[in-house]
Amino acid sequence: MHRPRIKEAIVSVSPNFSLEKQGIVTPAKIFWNLGTAHLVESALANGEGQLAKDGPLVVQTGKHTGRSASDKFIVRDATTENSIHWGKTNVAMDPAHFAALKEDFIAALAAKEKLYVADLFGGSQPEYRVNVRVINELAWHNLFIRTLLVRPDADELADLVPEYTIIDLPSFRADPVRHGCRSETVIAVNFTEKLILIGGTAYAGEMKKSVFGILNYLLPEQGVMPMHCSANIGPNGDTAVFFGLSGTGKTTLSADASRTLIGDDEHGWSDTAVFNFEGGCYAKMINLSPEAEPEIFATTKRFGTVLENVVMNTETREIDFNDNSLAENSRGSYPIDFIPNASKDNLGPVPKNIIMLTADAYGVLPPIARLTPDQAMYHFLSGYTARVAGTEIGVTEPTATFSTCFGAPFMPRHPSVYGNLLKERIAKGGVTCWLVNTGWTGGKATDRGIKRMPIKATRALLNAALDGSLNDAEFRKDPNFGFEFPIAVPGVDSKILDPREAWSDKAAYDATAQKLVQAFIDNFEQFEQHVDAGVREAAPKAA
């Protein structure tokens, strides 16, 4: 098929701090700090994607449709030896291997005909932001990261000096022997050289999560709590923070038309503000509907949105969000101001409420529960959700997933560093904490006829929690987990509020609940020596 060539136009702001000053010498044509329209034109001209009917750019990421967690490494040296929590998540790379990898990345840059470079900010609160330079071989990747990070004003660009640099080359193929990695895919972080190298994957989310990792490493030393969360502000100036793993509803529940969105994924909590690390959103697209998520759905009909691995009819250019044949993890990235009620400054006051989201596929947890500060720290360190591998034949049980701090892959320091920061800030601000289950009710997700918690019920409970009216409800103590849950809330079917009562088979509920309790206890053994007695006593109780 003949593709018309679109002329590329340079409307860039070239910085005074050049690539050569970073030791990067390449004959490639450099496109500096291009805007959205020119990056979309370049992506189309390069054959990187197609425009959908209503204007978004549609791209595919190949075999990598999500993060390659097993291919991520941190250089272990004098800087990181005692500051990184080494283990299964934070895997060490030898400095010599990184040096070889860097040499080969620089050589790969020298062989490119064109490169796209963006100078950006990670973090919206000026006192705590970091300057990030991103070098891409793909125009759509440059558009993605320009959309997701905070964009400097034009007059800030010329004199912006990068503190950290990301080089992102999907065409690069790592050599496990030479580079000390696991496969041809590599994400290597060097905190001493302030350099991140990403190769062998076209999944754009690796870039944004790398910046998240940088801030998660730097901010605790400044007394700022980095968080994998969404956040919004109520009409009375009350900020709410939503922790949760992928698929639990962080993006959906924070995009509330009655509240002002601060951001959907990554934030810092300083003495004066909750501030977004980003300038855009990265939402799941699978099964997206205008009824359930109208604000997010509207972004898919905007020029400037990038849709990854969604299925599009090549003739009509219509999108089918229910088709998961390319990926279950289909994604859309868009500027935060595509959400009509987004915060102009990407920040808000310190929070009054913290919501910890879980999608409990066991059907054991109530739709909402109130947590004490000790219980909040316990559940924060646990980071629980449960998944169902619905496409696998013979799957009869959910799988419990524990990701500490609701974001273990992005937390370089020991989890107790973040947990203690959270507990201190909860106590200092008198914050009310809630556990919200967006998963299943009345049985396990694998049981016949069992459905997920109605989103209308979840929103009604959240609204009552955030406006303070839920505190006036009558609460009952959960015998397994020790937290309190309401027994009656206006507008919500009382049958789903008590999870045991929602099950027709009470004995099956009790057995399933004890199985989940034991999973919590087993998982928390790794943290027991790092927390005080109050947090240990907040653990669920085995029968």
CA distance linking residue 543 with residue 113, whole number of Å: 66
For the record, the structure tokens of 80 come out as 């990181």
- The most distant pair of C-alpha atoms in the chain lies apart, rounded to whole Å, by 71
Which one of 228, 370, 413, 425 is the catalytic residue? 228
**Are the CB atoms for 487 and 494 separated by under 8 Å?**
yes
CA distance linking residue 511 with residue 499, whole number of Å: 13
Question: H or E stretch including 464?
Answer: helix 455-466
**Would you call 228 a catalytic residue per the annotation?**
yes
Q: Residue 152 gets which letter from DSSP?
A: P
Residue type, 465: A
Task: Break the chain down into helix, strand, coil percent, rounded to 5.
Answer: 30, 25, 45
**Would you call 250 a catalytic residue per the annotation?**
yes
Q: Residue 150 gets which letter from DSSP?
A: B
Which one of 71, 264, 265, 374 is the catalytic residue? 265
Q: Residue 525 gets which letter from DSSP?
A: T
CA distance linking residue 411 with residue 404, whole number of Å: 9
**Would you call 97 a catalytic residue per the annotation?**
no
Radius of gyration of the chain (CA): 23
**Would you call 67 a catalytic residue per the annotation?**
yes
**Would you call 171 a catalytic residue per the annotation?**
no
221 CB neighbour count, 10 Å cutoff: 10
Which one of 147, 246, 260, 343 is the catalytic residue? 246
**Are the CB atoms for 199 and 135 separated by under 8 Å?**
no
Residue type, 277: F
Query: Helix 373-382 to helix 506-524 angle, to the nearest 10 degrees?
Result: 80
Instruction: Tell me how many degrees the CA angle 227-385-472 measures, rounded to the nearest 5.
Output: 75
Which one of 38, 146, 250, 413 is the catalytic residue? 250
CA distance linking residue 249 with residue 229, whole number of Å: 10
Which one of 67, 133, 141, 352 is the catalytic residue? 67
CA distance linking residue 444 with residue 442, whole number of Å: 7
CA distance linking residue 20 with residue 159, whole number of Å: 15
Which one of 179, 331, 352, 423 is the catalytic residue? 331
Q: Residue 97 gets which letter from DSSP?
A: H
Which one of 89, 251, 299, 358 is the catalytic residue? 251
Q: Across-strand partners of 197? A: 167, 188
CA distance linking residue 532 with residue 524, whole number of Å: 13
Residues annotated catalytic, as ranges: 67, 209, 228, 246, 250-251, 265, 331
